[in-house]
Structure 1
């Protein structure tokens, strides 16, 4: 059976948890949520010092990240995304990096949606404007006049009356301490080293009329952080995208999710809980989380050429048949070759792995059928060493190379945590502090912490 394809609460296939901008709140995403209803579930999270948490305590970056991680640990299930608007973009980057490292007890992150995000490095901001914004809270919360000025500076066109009133209310209830903490410290923090490179699907929305964090600036700020980012410019739009352009933002998000996020299998709930738990070391959790990231539909091969990668994908379909929630095993093998990783062994008669793959695929290409129905017979002949294909490898060496290639493809499938769940392998859950192992080592016995379906059921104390 395929791995469970868990849906978000409310029937949507994925939930987007999104962090708001300076002076805003979770409700700033309500209009986007309404327009995505049934396609993507959107849940805003109030950050300390803002919205419903305006009276909360420490609003500096580290406690704010911890607050978001705690919220996600309690609510995020199945396949989910993380988003951030402006200030929330930097917080989202730090949370995502913790997930992909395994430091956060979370599983299921499948992509990110960023709106005019503050980058991990210090945010570009005119210092005169920074000082003026700080002056607004010198004697307490923002006044209505100062809040109006902020909205005028950050929108390309007037907001509709309801959105305008909500934005004013959020600005005026913002904690002055939180406002100062971001402008004086948070926006200036350089978190580039901690965030590193986040290799997952990312949508970046930015307005053409946003001075510092707009469409023209974002590729330069984020391309090295998010190598898979899709940048989308919103015309006649300032900085307050969720309020200015909810319809356009929602449609961009829906397309992005369909194209790049809803790919590959989802780790079943019990197994996700096990991976997120204290039996799994952070490093192991991070490896499994990175393996579960959806494949890049536009993957550009690093070792093979496009024709060779296409052929390897067709071989993979025969060697490891998959359902609709398929893993791009061939792309993962190409990436493995680019990293110069392997299983530590190769036949001495074959050249190094990258050369062997190119030679083997070029040889097989000479007799490879265009009709998918005929491919299994041709592959079987090559596996058995009876092919009449001519190329860089003779029949004997092609047979030897295919042993390695089949092993690599199967290893890539088995390495995915959803595949581990499918075959019932939970040997990764023997870490933590103190280290825990297995107690029941008899056939058919399942330990209390193991997911249902592992081992057999025992009613009388004898192995089933």
Structure 2
């Protein structure tokens, strides 16, 4: 029997999504892996966040959850919007953070989005037809009907305040000046068929801000919703990342 992963995994979901996007990944990792998949404030079943909707406010919300759960060693796993929140929290150098796994993350720079696209998205809140169009844009691999309906339902139940705040504020925030404070190992994962944040965006906007030892993995033929389109491949990369963290710990311990 393989040993249980030594770290808890704290999963942060995408904009207009919810924590349940990670259920397939968590199931593939197995019951021995301690996984937290919270809904962020204003998304899924979560109430409005008490501290506001900025990236830093969400980072504080996640930090409070980690303290509440008394996690001593953990890895942040952020997808899209959740990736930018994970970067903001990692820049605080919180105790117990061992690594950062980013799936098609919103970059630390303002997200590449035209004003026309922004206004179109602002006007599409709560629109079932627009939610279907979004689903078609953000996926490349076919999904089971149950997951298709989940993506659409999560889109439609996002609160107006959380929806607008990301488009008008969070996606525009620039965290670049804080990125040198991200000192933990980083694993970056992207889909080659991502029409929202293609791999070249990460190469241009994120990788130059991070340490050279950052690893970059591509999942062939996957779109933006990696946890739903490729849960097994994501889980395998997370297992590999955790194994690398353990090996690094052993090497440091042996050297000292």
TM-score by length of 2: 0.90
Separation in structure 2 between the aligned mates of residue 121 and residue 28 of structure 1, nearest angstrom: 25
Would you say 1:135 and 2:115 are equivalent positions? no
Would you say 1:256 and 2:241 are equivalent positions? yes
8 A Cα contact 2:139 2:229, kept in partner: yes
1:75 to 69, 72, 88: 69
Separation in structure 1 between the aligned mates of residue 49 and residue 88 of structure 2, nearest angstrom: 21
Following superposition, the deviation at residue 157 of structure 1 comes to 2.9
Q: Over alpha carbons, which structure has the higher Rg?
A: 1
Separation in structure 1 between the aligned mates of residue 7 and residue 29 of structure 2, nearest angstrom: 11
Following superposition, the deviation at residue 244 of structure 1 comes to 0.9
1:47 to 40, 53, 68: 40
Separation in structure 2 between the aligned mates of residue 184 and residue 213 of structure 1, nearest angstrom: 18
Q: Secondary structure at the match of 1:53?
A: coil
Runs of 4+ in 1 over 4 A off after TM superposition: 54-57
Following superposition, the deviation at residue 224 of structure 1 comes to 2.7
Q: Provide Cα deviations, 1:291-328, integer angstroms capped at 9, x if missing partner.
A: xxx5xxxxxxxxxxxxxxxxxxxxxxxxxxxxxx4526
Would you say 1:172 and 2:156 are equivalent positions? yes
Separation in structure 2 between the aligned mates of residue 76 and residue 248 of structure 1, nearest angstrom: 29
Paired residue for 1:119? 107
Following superposition, the deviation at residue 212 of structure 1 comes to 4.2
Unaligned runs of 5+ in 1: 1-6, 101-105, 265-293, 295-324, 331-412, 414-464
Following superposition, the deviation at residue 246 of structure 1 comes to 0.6
Paired residue for 1:217? 201
Would you say 1:234 and 2:248 are equivalent positions? no
Would you say 1:31 and 2:24 are equivalent positions? yes
Following superposition, the deviation at residue 18 of structure 1 comes to 1.4
Q: How does 1:344-363 map to 2 (within 5 A)?
A: none
Following superposition, the deviation at residue 67 of structure 1 comes to 0.8
Following superposition, the deviation at residue 39 of structure 1 comes to 5.9
Separation in structure 2 between the aligned mates of residue 19 and residue 165 of structure 1, nearest angstrom: 20
Following superposition, the deviation at residue 153 of structure 1 comes to 0.9
Separation in structure 2 between the aligned mates of residue 206 and residue 67 of structure 1, nearest angstrom: 26
8 A Cα contact 1:197 1:225, kept in partner: no
- Greater relative contact order (CA < 8 Å, ≥ 6 in sequence): 2
Following superposition, the deviation at residue 76 of structure 1 comes to 4.5
Unaligned runs of 5+ in 2: none
TM-score by length of 1: 0.51
Following superposition, the deviation at residue 34 of structure 1 comes to 0.2
Separation in structure 1 between the aligned mates of residue 84 and residue 62 of structure 2, nearest angstrom: 12
Paired residue for 2:188? 204
Separation in structure 2 between the aligned mates of residue 129 and residue 63 of structure 1, nearest angstrom: 25
8 A Cα contact 2:55 2:88, kept in partner: no
Q: CA RMSD in A?
A: 2.0
Q: Secondary structure at the match of 2:200?
A: coil
Paired residue for 1:448? none
Separation in structure 2 between the aligned mates of residue 39 and residue 261 of structure 1, nearest angstrom: 18
Query: Greater strand share, 1 or 2?
Result: 2
Separation in structure 2 between the aligned mates of residue 217 and residue 124 of structure 1, nearest angstrom: 8
Following superposition, the deviation at residue 206 of structure 1 comes to 0.6
